[in-house]
């Protein structure tokens, strides 16, 4: 019988438009395997909310494979070792996988090439990270020229169909998904997730079709947290249940500011991957020198900073828009993009706490937690990144809340404020109508702003 081909799955949990599956299926029987790897050096352990998503996504992919007469094999351990052992068991010598940019996956890919024939394919992004270069031949560092080059580089194409899979003569053993205990043990903090999300390709494709059908109002609506104006496809995209090229294809040729704005958002995702490809520790330290050591209040040594960080995490800062966002995150594993920017800016500027504490919290609590997108956006907001706002640009949370009509959003996620109308809900302290159960602001807006600017002046010497 023809030699079986291993398909190693990571953040690419789909059958359609999945080049590793397509290539393997063309060569022989396919053994799809997901390795739960918390051991490859530099590995950043997947956060708790992502593990919830992963459980359901793997269950969904397993059902999709079963419908094809195939199976999903689950194994646990250091990926290179586990795949090497699986190849020996099944007499396979080739592993097909999609190329990833995270530093630990690049290490695992390198380890594996020393052991087996690793056939890497592109498919996580619109274009392979690093493919596009400036006129000088170097990778892009700035978003807008990158986006323009990306748009110009994409020709018309058809996404790959679901391949026909044949099975090996004998299936290797698999762990049971439940034995991995990816779901929370009681108390179950994820009860709200199931009400909002259904992981898996079928839901992702249905949402894509529904959302992309009318992108007319996207540009305006995406800024308003009170309405369902964005695709909410980010966790599906992160886990690869839908490919960015399938999304691009579904909006390709559409004219107007809605579709072009949507394509630009997809470009941000590629851009972030390109930065991590160039600077693998982008998620671990500030790109600009000196910030990590000198600017911040440190929760490890400063009790007030530690209390402020906990209040931010719990959505008890006394700033309604920030608290609504942080509670949406805790309850649903997701936060609206505009509110992510406001909440992140509040932590870094008003509370003067290192962006890496915020990035870590998001990593643990977001269902779409993504090393590249999370780091790039945190560094952008903090003003520490390569293509950033200046640190001295400080968002005003109260006026942002009013400008983007966040009243209904706040009433939904902060029940203590549900009785307040606009405009009082945006700033109950100022209007003298703060309910007794709702905290006083941790720091006044003007005071926070001045403290941040003073700290920055000191930092600049
Ligand atoms: C501090 C901070 C941290 C963030 N962390 C993450 C993260 O860990 N994972 C993540 O996927 N996004 C992250 N984002 C980006 C953005 O908030 C989410 O991608 C977006 O809110 C997802 O919602 P949506 O799918 O409805 O977006 P839509 O508006 O429908 O956009 C479509 C897709 O484009 C991509 N996209 C949109 N905006 C961005 C962006 N700014 N950067 C990168 N990709 C983008 C996403 O894949 C998104 O699903 C972060 C933003 C901030 C400000």
Nearest atom in ligand 1 to 344's CA: 1
- pLDDT above 90 for 391: no
Phi/psi class of residue 117: alpha, beta or left (left: φ > 0; alpha: ψ in -120 to 50)? Answer: beta
Mean pLDDT of the region 36-64: 94
The stretches of 233-299 forming alpha helices (DSSP H) are 234-238, 244-251, 257-278, 291-294
Sheet with strand 117-121: strands edge to edge: 73-76, 30-36, 5-9, 94-98, 117-121
How far is the centre of ligand 1, averaged over its atoms, from the C-alpha of 337 (Å)?
Answer: 6
> What is the best residue among 124, 243, 246, 265 to mutate for testing ligand 1's pocket, by most ligand atoms within 8 Å of CB?
265
- pLDDT tens digits for range 243-285: 999 999 999 999 999 999 999 999 999 999 999 999 999 999 9
Nearest atom in ligand 1 to 336's CA: 21
> What is the best residue among 238, 241, 368 to mutate for testing ligand 1's pocket, by most ligand atoms within 8 Å of CB?
368
Nearest atom in ligand 1 to 340's CA: 53
- pLDDT above 80 for 126: yes
- pLDDT above 80 for 323: yes
Mean pLDDT of the region 417-435: 97
- pLDDT above 90 for 11: yes
**Residue-level pLDDT at 388:** 72
Q: What is the CATH number of domain 125-157+201-278?
A: 1.25.40.80
**What is the pTM (predicted TM-score) of this model?**
0.97
How far is the centre of ligand 1, averaged over its atoms, from the C-alpha of 254 (Å)?
Answer: 21
Mean pLDDT of the region 281-292: 92
Q: What is the CATH number of domain 5-124?
A: 3.40.50.620
Enclosing H/E stretch for 95: strand 94-98
Give residue limits of the domains in the chain: 5-124, 125-157+201-278, 291-460
**Residue-level pLDDT at 358:** 98
- CA nearest ligand 1 atom 12, residue: 373
> What average pLDDT is seen over the chain?
96
DSSP string of 123-134, one letter each residue: -SSSS-TT--B-
How far is the centre of ligand 1, averaged over its atoms, from the C-alpha of 68 (Å)?
Answer: 33
Architecture per CATH, 291-460: Orthogonal Bundle (1.10)
Nearest atom in ligand 1 to 238's CA: 11
- pLDDT tens digits for range 186-204: 889 999 999 999 999 999 9
Nearest atom in ligand 1 to 376's CA: 42
How far is the centre of ligand 1, averaged over its atoms, from the C-alpha of 253 (Å)?
Answer: 23
Query: For 395-439, where are the E strands, in sequence order?
Result: none
Residues lining ligand 1, CB < 6 A?
Answer: 222, 230-234, 237-238, 265-266, 268-269, 272, 337, 340-341, 344, 362, 366, 368-370, 373-374, 377-378, 381
Nearest atom in ligand 1 to 233's CA: 25
How far is the centre of ligand 1, averaged over its atoms, from the C-alpha of 298 (Å)?
Answer: 28
Model confidence band, residue 23 (pLDDT cutoffs 50, 70, 90): very high
- pLDDT above 70 for 1: no
How far is the centre of ligand 1, averaged over its atoms, from the C-alpha of 119 (Å)?
Answer: 30
Residue 218: name the closest of 182, 246, 177, 260 by CA. Answer: 260
Taking a C-beta distance cutoff of 8 angstroms, is the pair 281, 101 a contact? no
Do 5-124 and 125-157+201-278 share a fold?
Answer: no
Taking a C-beta distance cutoff of 8 angstroms, is the pair 168, 90 a contact? yes
Mean pLDDT of the region 26-31: 98
Residue 401 neighbours by CB under 8 Å, 6+ apart: 320, 321, 342, 410, 426, 427
How far is the centre of ligand 1, averaged over its atoms, from the C-alpha of 235 (Å)?
Answer: 9
């Amino acid at each position: 019988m023809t030699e079986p081909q291993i398909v190693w799955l990571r953040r690419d949990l789909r059958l359609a438009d999945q080049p590793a599956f397509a290539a393997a299926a063309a060569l022989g029987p396919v053994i799809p395997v997901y390795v739960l790897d918390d051991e490859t050096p530099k590995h950043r352990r997947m956060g708790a909310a992502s593990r919830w998503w992963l459980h359901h996504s793997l269950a969904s992919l397993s059902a999709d494979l079963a419908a094809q007469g195939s199976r999903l094999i689950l194994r646990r351990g250091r990926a290179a070792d586990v795949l090497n052992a699986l190849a020996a068991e099944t007499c396979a010598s080739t592993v097909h996988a999609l190329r990833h940019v995270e530093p630990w996956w690049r290490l695992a890919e390198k380890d594996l090439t020393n052991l087996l024939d690793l056939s890497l394919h592109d498919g996580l992004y619109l274009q392979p990270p690093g493919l596009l270069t400036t006129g000088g031949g170097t990778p892009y560092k700035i978003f807008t020229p990158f986006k323009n080059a990306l748009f110009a580089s994409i020709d018309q194409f058809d996404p790959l169909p679901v391949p026909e899979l044949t099975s090996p003569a004998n299936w290797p053993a698999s762990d049971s998904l439940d034995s991995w205990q990816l779901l929370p043990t009681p108390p179950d903090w994820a009860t709200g997730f199931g009400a909002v999300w259904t992981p898996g390709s079928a839901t992702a494709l249905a949402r894509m079709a529904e959302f992309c059908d009318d992108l007319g109002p996207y540009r305006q609506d995406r800024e308003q947290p009170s309405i369902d104006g964005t695709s909410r496809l980010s966790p599906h995209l992160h886990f690869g249940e839908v490919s960015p090229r399938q999304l691009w294809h579904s909006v390709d040729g559409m004219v107007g500011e809605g579709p072009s704005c949507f394509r630009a958002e997809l470009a941000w995702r590629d851009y972030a991957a390109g930065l991590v490809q160039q600077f693998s520790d982008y998620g671990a330290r500030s790109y600009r020198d000196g910030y990590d050591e000198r600017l911040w209040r440190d929760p490890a040594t400063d009790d007030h900073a530690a209390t402020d960080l906990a209040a931010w995490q719990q959505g008890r800062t006394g700033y309604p828009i920030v608290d609504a966002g942080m509670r949406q995150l805790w309850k649903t594993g997701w936060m609206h993009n505009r509110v992510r920017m406001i909440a992140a800016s509040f932590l870094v500027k008003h509370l003067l706490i290192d962006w890496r504490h915020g990035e870590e919290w998001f990593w643990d609590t977001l269902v779409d937690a993504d090393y590249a997108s999370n780091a790039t956006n945190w560094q952008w907001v903090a003003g520490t990144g390569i293509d950033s706002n200046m640190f001295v640009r400080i968002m005003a949370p109260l006026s942002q809340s009013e400008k983007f009509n966040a009243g209904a959003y706040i009433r939904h996620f902060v029940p203590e404020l549900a009785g307040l109308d606009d405009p009082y809900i945006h700033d109950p302290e100022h209007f003298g109508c703060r309910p007794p159960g709702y905290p006083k602001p941790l720091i006044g807006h003007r005071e926070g702003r001045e403290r941040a600017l003073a700290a920055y002046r000191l930092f600049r010497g």
